[in-house]
């Protein structure tokens, strides 16, 4: 892994046009993914994870648009590139994408090898024979018998389809693979098999991976760095070990406390009442305010800026007005905040 940023996102705001007005799905998000890095993005359903990465791929739904910010890939601004340029230069051969629910994204009427050859034709200079040889190697990497590249998708189980899609994503040797919830519909054993192959890819091929998931355990186990999102805002971004051991944002802290751990089957799980707001118009406050045990009036008056968690650390950022208090309390283990499962006030915002 090198420190050169491969992907940089700066002050990104993404909105969808809706009947009620402009819905802000991502608000002022900033982070960077380095070369060879395994980067995780966690947050609950609706927090803007998919929107964030669709905007990186310039593949937002037609009613969505980037209203502010810059997306840089290998130093080049890509947010305004044309479809044609994206297809020729970026998609698949630089950035490959594994969509959410992707098990169903293979064309059922075409052999998988045919789909690979088509991709190669569109996005690379490989001829058919080269493409097939290459694709067989990819099947090897994801643990499927290379002879089966000529199968139709329906001949594969769900987990195999998922791996075939990972093989397609790897195929043109992209520098970055973005995977949106690649294992969410799968059982634990299948999930673990797939992550084993992804680990392999990171080790052997050196591709950067951006993994989107709601499962904080998967990110803690596998990734180098991570971002925690809440209600369209980046709550915290930094090395996985830091966010695990020294979280500064209340949401990062509570998310960990809510997550079951098979090693401690009797630990109390915390509850985060309510859900993130649906934000029409600009987000001009902290979107965690109605669920946050540390919230004060200040948190409603402006969005908290994403700042260094500690002055002497350039790799860990937090957006919380009270990050120092939160940190202190976490450290002392004292808990003068409200009990997390006390429902006072929070239900009112839970529309």
Partner 1 sequence: MTSDMPLLQVKNLEKYYDQQAGIVDWILRKDSDPVQAVDGVSFRLDENESLGVIGESGCGKTTLIETLIGLHEPTSGEILFKGTDVSTFDKGDWKQFRREVQMIFQDPFNALDPKLSVRETLEEQLKIHDIDERDRRIRDVLEQVELSPVDNYLDRLPKQLSGGQKQRVSIARALIVEPELILADEPVSMLDVSTQAAILQLLSDLIDDFGVSMVYISHDLSTVSYVCHQLQVMYLGRVVESGATEVVLNEPKHPYTRALLSAIPIPDSEAERERTELPGTPGDPINIGNGCRFRDRCPDRMELCDKTPESYALSTDHHVACHLHSEHDDQGDLNAVSSSGDVANGQSISAGEGGDEL
45 binds, among ligand ADP, ligand SF4, Mg ion, none (CB under 5 to 8 A by kind): ligand ADP
Residue 129: count of CB within 10 angstroms of its CB = 9
Residue from 66, 288, 309, 327 binding ligand SF4 (CB under 6 A): 288
- Least distance from ligand SF4 to the Cβ atom of residue 35, Å: 32
Helix (H) / strand (E) element for 22: namely: strand 21-34
The contact set with partner 1 (CB under 8 A) reads 44-45, 157, 159, 187-193, 195-196, 199, 214-218, 220-221, 240-241, 243-245, 254-256, 258-263, 265-266, 269-273, 275, 341, 343, 347, 350-351
Nearer to partner 1, 218 or 318 (CB): 218
Can you tell me whether residue 72 is helix, strand or coil? strand
350 binds, among ligand SF4, ligand ADP, partner 1, none (CB under 5 to 8 A by kind): partner 1
Told to check if 275 binds ligand ADP by CB under 6 A, we report no
The secondary structure of 100-127, three-state, reads: CCHHHCCCCCCCHHHHHHHHHHHHCCCC
Provide the token pair at 28: 């002022």
- Least distance from ligand SF4 to the Cβ atom of residue 329, Å: 11
List of residues 6+ apart from 204 with CB closer than 8 A: 141
Can you tell me whether residue 26 is helix, strand or coil? strand
Check: CB of residue 29 under 8 Å from CB of residue 213.
no
Residue whose token pair is 């971002």: 227
290, HSE (Cβ side, Cα atoms, 13 Å)? 15
List of residues 6+ apart from 269 with CB closer than 8 A: 257, 258, 259, 260
Stretch that binds ligand ADP, among 58-66, 198-206, 242-250, 329-337 (CB under 6 A): 58-66
Residue from 5, 46, 146, 239 binding ligand ADP (CB under 6 A): 46
Check: CB of residue 48 under 8 Å from CB of residue 64.
no
Check: CB of residue 178 under 8 Å from CB of residue 212.
yes
Nearer to ligand SF4, 122 or 302 (CB): 302
Can you tell me whether residue 15 is helix, strand or coil? strand
Nearer to partner 1, 86 or 271 (CB): 271
Told to check if 194 binds ligand SF4 by CB under 6 A, we report no
CA proximity to 55, closest of 170, 171, 212, 199? 212
2 binds, among partner 1, ligand ADP, ligand SF4, none (CB under 5 to 8 A by kind): none
Nearer to ligand ADP, 142 or 223 (CB): 223
Check: CB of residue 173 under 8 Å from CB of residue 134.
no
Told to check if 321 binds ligand SF4 by CB under 6 A, we report yes
5 binds, among Mg ion, partner 1, ligand ADP, none (CB under 5 to 8 A by kind): none
Told to check if 317 binds ligand SF4 by CB under 6 A, we report no
CA distance linking residue 21 with residue 323, whole number of Å: 32
Can you give the binding site for ligand SF4, defined by CB under 6 A?
A: 249-250, 286, 288-289, 292, 294-295, 299, 304, 320-322
Can you give the binding site for ligand ADP, defined by CB under 6 A?
A: 16, 18, 23, 25, 43, 45-51, 61, 63-64, 278
């Amino acid at each position: 892994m090198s420190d050169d940023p491969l992907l940089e996102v700066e002050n990104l705001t993404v909105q969808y046009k809706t009947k009620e007005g402009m819905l802000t799905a991502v608000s002022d998000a900033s982070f960077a993914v380095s070369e060879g890095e395994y980067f995780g993005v966690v947050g609950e359903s609706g927090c803007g994870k998919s929107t964030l990465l669709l905007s990186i791929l310039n593949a937002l739904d037609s009613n969505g648009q980037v209203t502010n910010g810059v997306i840089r890939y290998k130093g080049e601004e890509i947010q305004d590139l044309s479809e044609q340029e994206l297809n020729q230069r970026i998609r698949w051969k630089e950035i490959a994408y594994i969509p959410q629910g992707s098990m169903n994204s293979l064309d059922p009427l075409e052999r998988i090898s045919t789909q690979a050859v088509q991709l190669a034709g569109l996005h690379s200079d490989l001829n058919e024979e080269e493409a097939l040889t290459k694709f067989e190697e990819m099947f090897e990497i994801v643990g499927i018998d290379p002879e089966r590249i000529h199968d139709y998708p329906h001949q594969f189980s769900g987990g195999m389809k998922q791996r075939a899609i990972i093989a397609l994503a790897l195929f043109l040797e992209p520098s970055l693979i973005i995977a949106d919830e690649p294992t969410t519909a799968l059982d634990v054993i299948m999930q673990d098999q797939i992550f084993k192959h992804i680990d392999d890819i990171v080790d052997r091929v050196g591709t950067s991976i951006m993994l989107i998931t709601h499962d904080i355990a998967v990110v803690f186990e596998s990734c180098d760095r991570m971002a925690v999102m809440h209600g369209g805002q980046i709550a915290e971004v930094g090395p996985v070990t830091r966010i695990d051991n020294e979280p500064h944002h209340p949401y990062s802290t509570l998310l960990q406390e809510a997550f079951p751990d098979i090693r401690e089957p009797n630990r109390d799980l915390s509850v985060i009442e309510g859900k993130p707001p649906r934000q029409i118009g600009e987000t001009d406050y902290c979107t965690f305010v109605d669920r946050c045990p540390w919230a004060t009036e200040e948190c409603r008056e402006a969005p908290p800026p994403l700042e260094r968690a500690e002055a002497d650390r350039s790799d860990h950022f937090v957006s919380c007005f009270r990050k120092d208090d939160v940190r202190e309390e976490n450290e002392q283990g004292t808990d003068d905040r409200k009990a997390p499962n006390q429902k006072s006030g929070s239900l009112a915002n839970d529309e």
